[in-house]
Amino acid sequence: MSDDTRSELYAELAAVGPYGTHPGHALITMVEPHPGHEYAYNRWYEDDHYYAGAMAMPWMYAGRRWVATRELQLLRYPEKSAVAQPVTTGCYLSTYWITAGRYDDHMRWTVAINRRLNRDGRVYHDRTHVLTAFQDHEVTVYRDGAAGPRDVHALDHPYAGLVLQVVEAGAPEQRPQMLEWLRSRHLPKRLAGSPAAMVTVFRPTPLPGDRMTYVKQVEGVDTRLTLLWFLQADPRECWETFFTGLDTAVAESGLGRVELVAPFVPTVPGTDQYVDRLR
């Protein structure tokens, strides 16, 4: 291995460009390990890829992994989803925050490092990328206003669960209207009295043309919004009360439709907890 790290460039790079703490961008990736590969995939991702393929990269400063047991998978809707076919597909979810204004810098690094990892045999291929997209942050809506953790803390705070929601506007020109409806009307109403402390809303961006071939191009770049609901309770305890009917509410707005509502719980790093409950 070459010891040429070009470390003389690091001081120059540190002195320029944005370096705030706002999560201006995110990587949201939902993956299905192939049957029989669940344990090996989990160990590879936790022991190697979470760090070498994500957290060790410049400007990716927070991350969290989530898992959907079979019990949680069966709560998902709608049954016919443009995101997951069948809708239960994709039992692991990883979420990462990227510093605002550093998307291009990060993308150049991530493409290069993933090429290197693949060349060195450090990519686990017995998996399917169900939904993998870099996203730009649009808005965060809080249940308790200024009290409590901010979105910058969301991947470090010990939340008990997360709900991934994907909404599709009826047309590209309706997405800004959908975003405003979510921000000012729908989300404040749904959050009030709920176990969800905040919802972060993102819009997907196209993956670069030189991405790894096993990751499909992002769909709905002009029409979709991705919502992450951060829960202070296990999603199974509050599903019927707070998370059924999100598709009906969006449909009644006349602005679009829901393509996925999927609950997860956090993984326990360094363990194989939940792996035996995926099927």
SS3 string, the chain, reads CCCCCCCHHHHHHHCCCCCCCCEEEEEEEEEEECCCCHHHHHHHHHHHHHHHHHHCCCCEEEEEEEECCHHHHCCCECCCCCCCCCCCCCCEEEEEEEECCCHHHHHHHHHHHHHHHHHCCCCCCCEEEEEEEEEEEEEEEECCCCCCCCHHHCCCCCCCEEEEEEEEECCHHHHHHHHHHHHHHHHHHHHCCCCEEEEEEEEECCCCCCCCCCCCCCCCCCCEEEEEEEECCCHHHHHHHHHCCHHHHHHHHCCEEEEEEEEEEECCCCCCCCHHHCC
In angstroms, rounded to a whole number, what is the distance separating the alpha carbons of residues 158 and 169? 32
Question: How many other C-beta atoms lie within 10 A of the C-beta of residue 107?
Answer: 21
277 domain residue, yes or no: no
What pLDDT, on the 0 to 100 scale, is given for residue 215?
63
Task: Give the per-residue pLDDT at 140.
Answer: 98
The answer to whether position 6 is within a domain reads no
Do 162 and 229 touch, CB atoms closer than 8 A? Answer: yes
Tell me what pLDDT residue 216 has. Answer: 65
Residue 275 forms part of a structural domain: no
10-residue mean pLDDT series, the chain (279 residues): 82 94 97 98 98 97 98 98 97 98 95 95 96 96 94 98 97 97 98 98 85 67 97 98 97 97 98 98
Domain that holds residue 221: 19-266
Q: Domain count for the chain, please give it.
A: 1
Task: Give the Cα separation of 21 and 61 in Å (integer).
Answer: 9
In a domain, 236, yes or no: yes
CA–CA gap between residue 31 and residue 243 (Å, rounded):
22
Q: Is residue 184 part of a domain?
A: yes
Any idea what the CATH number is for the domain that residue 204 is in?
3.30.70.100
Q: How much is the pLDDT for 31? A: 98
The answer to whether position 117 is within a domain reads yes
Evaluate whether residue 206 is within a structural domain.
Answer: yes
Of 72, 27, 80, the closest CA to residue 236 belongs to 72
Q: How far is CA 260 from CA 6, 49, 54, 245, 270, in A?
A: 44, 26, 25, 12, 29
Residue 189, burial from CB neighbour count under 10 angstroms (0-12, 13-18, 19+): exposed
191 in any annotated domain: yes
